[in-house]
Amino acid sequence: MSKTETDYNQPIGLDVGTSRIVVARNADKKYQYETELNAFLTLPHTKLAESLLQRERVFHEVQGSEIVVAGNDAQKFAEVFHVETRRPMKNGVLNPQEPHSLSVMRRIITKLLGKATAEGQKVFFSVPAAGAEGEGGLAYHEASVRQIVADLGYDPTPIAEGLAVVFGELGNSNYTGIGISCGSGLCNVCLAVLSVPVISFSIPKAGDYIDNKASEVTGEIATRLRVQKEQSFYLNGMNGDRVQNALTVYYQEMITNLVETLRGHISATQRLPRLDQAIPLVLAGGTAMPRGFVEQFGKVLNSGNFPVKLSDIRISADALNATARGALMAALC
């Protein structure tokens, strides 16, 4: 870490996402972000391989007979060897089928946060909301991340991911509106009034769902589809390209599911606060970034009656960092 980062003793926002982990700091009235892919792969351990990785400054750790390459470097190795990266998290929480999950998460978070520089230094970290299936490992996941952060000397506080989007994006509407984080493992949703969450939930049809389903029908590996989806995909209908068509089909399914679930939750909520004015809806997260996403989302939403009036539907100007920024803003309040 640089001297500036070492001396930083203000609150920090931490977005613990299935695909990426992002740290947000506020220095000189400017937001600064650091990001690592929340991924890894393993290589057979040899002394030669270990020395080469050290020389190239590859982010890794030796664990018995394996070398665990983590973070951004894992993606580089996956592309070289044409293999899938492995994920410490699945569906928004620690992956119970992955024995390296906790140790990899600890290393990535430690790399990004570093040690606390002041007693009681705050870190607000994102956690998913419960889904229709219930808690599903959320308590263990939250407790694990809390412990990792606390072991570094920080004072950790969880914040629901959808609410973090509200904090990061809806200050001009007094933190009233709908924040949606479309991530890899989950889509997290929060309707808040004056920063108080009224409705908060998550759904599992998100970026990984799109990648995996498109992989099944095209034969492409999901990692390659994720990269194409984020870099060049345009949600503008079907054409002659099979990858484009597959991504389009599953994107449309995901958007329809998200809108209908949101509509159902709001309609079923008793004692919904009275909203005299229309409220904004803001989308964030990597899965919401392809061109055409907001237009398709609005088209599906406007195809039927929506329980509340919306003033606008937009995507965050910095969708990948919106959750971390919102967590930081909550920590600064």
The string of pLDDT tens digits covering residues 208-258 is 999 999 999 999 877 778 777 777 889 987 777 888 899 999 999 999 999
Residue 6's pLDDT is 56
Residue 63's pLDDT is 84
Location of structure tokens 């909203």: 275
pLDDT, one tens digit per residue, over 100-112 is 999 999 999 999 9
Q: Kindly tell me if the per-residue pLDDT of 3 is higher than 50.
A: no
Location of structure tokens 């509407």: 173
Q: Kindly tell me if the per-residue pLDDT of 176 is higher than 50.
A: yes
Residue 4's pLDDT is 43
Query: By C-alpha distance, which of 259, 285, 314, 43 is closest to 162?
Result: 285
pLDDT, one tens digit per residue, over 295-313 is 999 999 999 899 999 999 9
pLDDT, one tens digit per residue, over 142-171 is 999 999 999 999 999 999 999 999 999 999
CB 95 within 8 A of CB 89: yes
Mean predicted confidence (pLDDT) in 174-179: 97
With both helix axes pointing from N to C terminus, report the angle between 242-268 and 207-218 in degrees, rounded to the nearest 10. Answer: 150
Question: The pTM is what?
Answer: 0.92
Q: Kindly tell me if the per-residue pLDDT of 99 is higher than 60.
A: yes
Percentage of the residues of the chain whose pLDDT score is greater than 70: 97
Query: By C-alpha distance, which of 173, 192, 204 is closest to 269?
Result: 192
**DSSP class of 223:** H
- Secondary structure (H, E, C), 247-287: HHHHHHHHHHHHHHHHHHHHHHCCCCCCCCCCEEEEEECHH
Question: What is the chain's mean pLDDT, rounded?
Answer: 91
Most confident listed range (3-7, 33-37, 78-82) = 33-37
Percentage of the residues of the chain whose pLDDT score is greater than 90: 70
Residue 158's pLDDT is 98
CB 120 within 8 A of CB 155: yes
The number of residues making up the chain comes to: 333
Give me 112's structure tokens.
């990004």
Higher-scoring residue by pLDDT: 255, 55: 255
pLDDT band at 134 (very low <50, low <70, confident <90, very high): low
Instruction: Give the residues across from 24 on adjacent strands.
Output: 13, 33
Mean predicted confidence (pLDDT) in 84-101: 92
Query: What are the chain's domains?
Result: 39-86 (no CATH), 167-315 (3.30.420.40)
